[in-house]
Amino acid sequence: MNANEGLGTVPDTAYGLNQAVWDGNMNTPASVELLGRAGVQMMRYPGGSYGDGYHWQTNTVSGGGWVAPGTDFDSFMGTTRAVGAQAMVIANYGSGTPEEAAEWVRYANVTKGYGVKYWEIGNEVYGNGHYGADWELDYHTSKSPTTYANNVVEYARAMKAVDPTVRIGVVLTLPNSWPDGSVASGDSKDWNHTVLPIVGPYVDFGVIHYYPNHTTAADVLQQTGLLPAELAQVRQQISRYAGDRGPSIGIAVTETQSNFQAATQPGALFTADVYFTALENGVFNVDYWDTRNGMPEDNITTAPDGATDYGDGGMLSSGNCNSHNVCEPPLNTPFPAYYAFQMLGEVAVPGDTLVRSGSDNPLLGVHAARNNDGNLSVELINRDPSAAYTVDLDYVGWAPSSETPTVHTYAAEGTSITTAQRGTAGTQVVPAYSIVTVKLTPSATNPVSRTLSAPGSPTVSNVTAHSAIIAWTPSTGGDVTRYGVFQQIGTNSVLLGESTSATFTAQNLVPGTSYTVNVLATDQKGYRSMPSTPVTFVTGTPQNSTCAVTYDVVSGWASGFVANLAITNTGPDPINGWTLAFSFPSSTESVSSSTWNGTYAADGQNVVVTPADGNTYLTPNGGNTVSTGFVGNQTGANPSPASFTLNGAVCTTTYS
């Protein structure tokens, strides 16, 4: 655990789940008690795809669909308030209008004073048939991403005219998930690259859904490792198209679950991992699907630990049976994911700071938080269904005391979280298929200030190929002697430099390189503050290079993409024989055997392209352009290379 590498504070919107109007138990006293005990902070309504058919004034759904009595908006808000949560509401896009949505805002925030801040415009609208699959209701004549984006602007204008404080969410796709990268007939770009340029000035957050598509528990539990790069790619897209508003546009994962054996321990392990993975990578809200979902007719399986999985996507049992006389546990029995959700609050509560952690065992997940009471919490997730692990804990920037830690454990298929004092700050045993949270107190010599606040969130400006200006709001609560600006490289921190003021100019940066940095203040005793939230930026490429490269991803699908490259010699001398080199930012992308107008050789993420078919000559001063390209493979994110070199020279790079 590197306590100097801050990953952001936990917001009061972090831990959410979905509610659906088909659930007749949504607003019962048992629900209030169970969800309150779990620590739910956000509740999403009226239930996934029902959001595109739901009419709030009549509590009905266009196109049919069961709406249970007592699930109207006011009843939902009563439960939300009783739980102590906030609401995330889906405004009806598929069969509604901007006017209907605006009246809902008026009723919620003006008439009733509920203060509903977060509103999504539709649910999974890309599933309206435009790309083939058509599970999502959409009565609009045109179902294109352009039509959706233009309508989102109208929704945002109408809703903010009623209450300017509401935050509007737009449906986006996630890399490595259908239909991201797909370009439908009549479109020139895929969903995100079409929607974001239109809605950028008007929306406040992007909405993604995350369901791993795998058929073994072992595979599912490894998928969260791909999520950071996928979220980073969405963030890059937002930054590209939203301009100065980019940093203020959030990302919410308003539906997620393991999508395989969710009602047994694999669902719990996934839940423990996905919430913190998303929050560590800049997401402000994660909502589990669903509170109750019911058991399907089939799809009953046996989890790796021998437990029966009923195929139920809910956190609580619906208590139903199928026609084969197989029955779930009684109504409201918590499934394992419930306890994983409950454990989140043992690790971090709103205001605590998530910090960088890592493991050298792929079957052991780890997350950590610096708590506002001065303690450190470490969550350990054992993905191995048969073996316990003895774990050695190491710390950077924080020194634990010799006290025996308090340890919270959720064992495989358990019915509660147990608490005991055991192990040491340096060694813990994590049982098979379990979730363990270790609560650590600081030593008397811990080099951390108890009064100095974290520096404010850094901003970056004047980014060039070799430099960037980083600024932040000063720390309070003590006398600051200096600020340190640290680059995060895995769990290692590299000091870029120090400053006695709240600004720093980073020099000698590498062109076309991604940097993630955070700031710490140091007081007169040499004690450091809590770390700031991180900021990520990418250095540019030279504007006056002797070469230029345009990189264009023209189409894509869940497992691949097509990229074209245009290479130009902008220097004064001809080039007869060239070598183009670049690196993929993510290990989840590679060049396939399908290439054209070039010979591609790869060594890991590093790619070298040489001429083919006689296209060896590049005339000076931009006299000609050589075009080449490839079909890429992807098993996760596929961010574009940040820079290219031609015969060793870093080229001016553009993206189309």
Write the pLDDT tens digit of every residue in 159-189: 999 999 999 999 999 999 999 999 999 999 9
Model confidence pLDDT, tens digit, residues 110-162: 999 999 999 999 999 999 999 999 999 999 999 999 999 999 999 999 999 99
Residue 390 clears pLDDT 90, i.e. is over it? yes
pLDDT for residue 129: 98
For position 299, what pLDDT does the model report? 87
Report whether pLDDT(74) > 90: yes
Predicted pLDDT at 49: 97
Nearest to 598 by CA among 639, 552, 637, 565: 565
What sign does the dihedral 342-44-85-72 (CA atoms) show? negative
How many residues in the chain?
A: 656
Domains and CATH numbers, the chain: 12-346 (3.20.20.80), 355-440 (2.60.40.1180), 459-538 (2.60.40.10), 547-655 (2.60.40.290)
The whole-angstrom separation of Cα 414 and Cα 417 is 7
Instruction: Output the pLDDT for position 481.
Output: 97
Q: What pairing do the DSSP bridges indicate for beta strands 649-650 and 353-356?
A: unpaired
pLDDT band at 514, cuts 50/70/90?
very high
Distance CA 487, CA 481 (A): 20
Q: Is the pLDDT of residue 401 over 90?
A: yes
- Residue 25 near residue 35, CB atoms below 8 Å: no
pLDDT(92) > 90: yes
Render pLDDT for 185-240 as a digit per residue (tens, 0 to 9).
999 999 999 999 999 999 999 999 999 988 899 999 999 999 999 999 999 999 99
pLDDT of residue 164: 99
Q: On the CB side of 399, how many CA atoms lie within 13 Å of its CA?
A: 9
Mean pLDDT computed over every residue of the chain: 97
Residue 82 CB-half CA count within 13 A: 16
Tell me the per-residue pLDDT of 438-463, one tens digit each, with 9 for 90 and over. 999 999 999 899 899 999 999 999 99
